[in-house]
């Protein structure tokens, strides 16, 4: 038996490849499937089944493309409703894979069709459980993602999740390995642990959701303090349920090289977004005017899905050699409308004498020197509300990055203000600066190193906390 966890850090997502005696299964595959095909080739096995724990909201699954290329059967759990060619398993139905088997355990709560997959080894002993978004390390899946047409409240789903955990998860032996679909940083739960796997015993001991408690206590605990889900979640769930364009076709459109003239012509259309995916420190020094920055070095696809509309065409300005990566990672969260990329990159644009824009980078100590002498200075902190509450500059206003696409969020900012933007480390603030420029605010300075640098200068800044938010 061979088990491999394939963890994608920028999405905090785990897929799984399991093989035994010439046969294999893939659980919760990403949209780009080459790695699974390569593993099958390396281990000389045929992919027999593709198991989906539920209709994912935070990424587009590779189930359809993988089934097309391998002939594998796609398996969902009970209560699955889709017109796609899938097999809907019964609760506790078992599938053989070589000398091992996988049993479907229906665990509704995160979604109605959510299921876990219990792997039994060659001796028919319970060995590992692939829990999808039902159970994480230190957390459980959020119960507020009811899909359109489902007349269920958050409390309804939380109650179902309680029952699922009590009847399907807690009775398992403490030694059973827990392999979840997500790790720390995922928006599919409130506060996932940093480990990407655990055991049932460890979770019974340390996970708040598995402690002895009434259903009412559980519902309150699991629903309290849930952040608003990213705007792309319902889009991705719908795509996974209804189907999508093949990744090969998406790449064919996106990998069209555009001359400067062709790029400029496309950029004039209202339905086109210029997306620059280079590093933040490179972008600020010069970029094509009206570009939005979301760099590959951060949670790139997640921020793209949260900030960009899906009904517009994206033309790319990537680092040369990063064109395909830029497209594939966007496709993972459902983007399919691509219009090509700037041939030769930004360097070609600049060398041709085309107009460029830039963002001024400053060190945090320069901000400290400017604050006492500039009555027109506005500090914008684009971290999440909870980050801001835990410590911020006294004079800073908080506009979380996810809210910056709403013009109302910047209603009190004017171009004559001297605007200083920061986040935690310098990635989100550059995204924010590019969005502000798109909305006509250009007098911007980006604080290098963000809050991580600012908080080191306690002798130069007034720092405070928002106790009412933390409580």
Most confident of 346-350, 386-390, 437-441: 346-350
Q: What percentage of the chain exceeds 90 in pLDDT?
A: 86
Calpha distance 161→166 (Å, rounded): 9
Q: How confident is the model at residue 374, as a pLDDT?
A: 81
Q: How confident is the model at residue 377, as a pLDDT?
A: 93
From 3.20.20.70, 3.40.250.10, 3.40.50.10490, 3.30.360.10, which CATH number describes the 245-351 domain? 3.40.250.10
Q: How confident is the model at residue 406, as a pLDDT?
A: 84
Confidence of residue 410 (pLDDT cuts 50, 70, 90): confident
pLDDT digits (tens, 9 = 90+) for 63-73: 999 999 999 99
Give CATH 3.40.250.10 domain extents, the chain: 245-351, 360-470
The runs of H, that is alpha helices, within 341-466 are 345-351, 364-370, 385-389, 428-438, 450-454
Q: How many CB atoms lie within 10 A of CB 335?
A: 25
Which distant-in-sequence residues (6+ apart) come within 8 Å of 404 by Cβ? 307, 382, 410, 432, 435, 436
Its pTM surpasses 0.75 = yes
pLDDT digits (tens, 9 = 90+) for 222-242: 999 888 889 999 999 999 999
pLDDT surpassing 60 at residue 468: yes
Q: How confident is the model at residue 298, as a pLDDT?
A: 92
As a CATH number, domain 2-235 is 3.60.15.10
pLDDT digits (tens, 9 = 90+) for 121-135: 999 999 999 999 999
Where does residue 12 rank: exposed (0-12), middle (13-18), buried (19+ CB within 10 A)? Answer: buried
pLDDT surpassing 90 at residue 373: no
pLDDT surpassing 60 at residue 470: no
Mean pLDDT computed over 10-19: 96
Give CATH 3.60.15.10 domain extents, the chain: 2-235
For 360-470, which CATH class?
Answer: alpha beta
Strand locations in 9-125, DSSP E?
Answer: 13-20, 23-27, 46-51, 73-76, 87-88, 94-97, 100-106, 115-120
Confidence of residue 415 (pLDDT cuts 50, 70, 90): confident
Mean pLDDT computed over 333-359: 97
Q: What is the DSSP letter of 124?
A: S
pLDDT digits (tens, 9 = 90+) for 79-130: 999 999 999 999 999 999 999 999 999 999 999 999 999 999 999 999 999 9
Q: How confident is the model at residue 405, as a pLDDT?
A: 87
Q: How confident is the model at residue 422, as a pLDDT?
A: 97
pLDDT digits (tens, 9 = 90+) for 265-295: 999 999 999 999 999 999 999 999 999 999 9
């Amino acid at each position: 038996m061979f088990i491999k966890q394939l963890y994608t850090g920028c999405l905090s997502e785990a897929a799984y490849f399991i093989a035994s005696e010439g046969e294999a299964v893939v659980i919760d595959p990403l949209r780009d499937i080459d790695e699974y095909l390569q593993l099958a080739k390396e281990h000389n096995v045929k992919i027999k089944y593709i198991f989906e724990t539920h209709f994912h909201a935070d990424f587009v699954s590779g189930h359809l493309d993988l089934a097309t290329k391998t002939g594998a059967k796609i398996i969902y759990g009970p209560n699955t409703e889709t017109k796609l060619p899938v097999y809907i398993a019964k609760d506790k139905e078992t599938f053989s894979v070589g000398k091992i088997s996988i049993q479907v355990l229906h665990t509704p709560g995160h979604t109605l069709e959510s299921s876990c997959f219990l792997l039994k080894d060659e001796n028919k002993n319970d060995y590992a459980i692939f829990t999808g978004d039902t159970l994480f390390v230190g957390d459980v899946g959020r119960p507020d993602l009811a899909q359109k047409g489902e007349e269920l409240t958050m409390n309804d789903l939380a109650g179902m999740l309680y029952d699922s955990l009590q009847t399907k998860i807690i009775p398992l032996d403490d030694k059973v390995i827990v392999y979840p679909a997500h790790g720390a940083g995922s928006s599919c739960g409130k506060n996932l642990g940093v480990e990407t796997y655990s055991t049932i015993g460890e979770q019974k001991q340390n996970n708040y959701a598995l402690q002895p408690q009434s259903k009412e206590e559980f519902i309150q605990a699991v629903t309290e303090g849930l952040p608003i889900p990213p705007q792309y979640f319902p889009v991705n769930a719908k795509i996974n349920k209804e189907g999508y364009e093949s990744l090969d076709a998406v790449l064919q459109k996106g990998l069209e090289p555009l001359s400067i003239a062709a790029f400029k012509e496309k950029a004039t259309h209202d339905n086109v977004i210029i997306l620059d995916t280079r590093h933040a420190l490179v972008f600020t020094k010069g970029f094509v005017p009206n570009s939005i920055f979301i760099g590959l070095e951060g949670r790139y696809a997640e921020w793209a899905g949260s900030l960009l509309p899906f009904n517009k065409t994206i033309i790319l300005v990537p680092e040369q050699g990063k064109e395909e990566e830029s497209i594939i990672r966007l496709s993972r969260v459902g983007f399919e409308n691509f219009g090509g990329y700037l041939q030769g990159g930004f360097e070609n644009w600049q060398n041709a004498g085309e107009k460029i824009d830039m963002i001024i980078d400053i060190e945090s100590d320069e901000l400290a020197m400017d604050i006492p002498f500039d009555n027109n200075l506005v500090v914008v902190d684009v971290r999440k509300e909870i980050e801001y509450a835990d410590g911020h500059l006294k004079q800073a206003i908080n506009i979380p990055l996810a809210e910056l696409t709403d013009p109302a969020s910047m209603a009190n900012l004017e171009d004559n203000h001297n605007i200083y933007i920061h986040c935690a480390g310098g990635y989100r603030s550059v995204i924010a600066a590019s969005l502000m420029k798109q909305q006509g605010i250009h007098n911007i300075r980006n604080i290098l190193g963000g809050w991580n640098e600012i908080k080191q200068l306690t002798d130069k800044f007034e720092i405070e906390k928002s106790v009412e938010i933390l409580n």
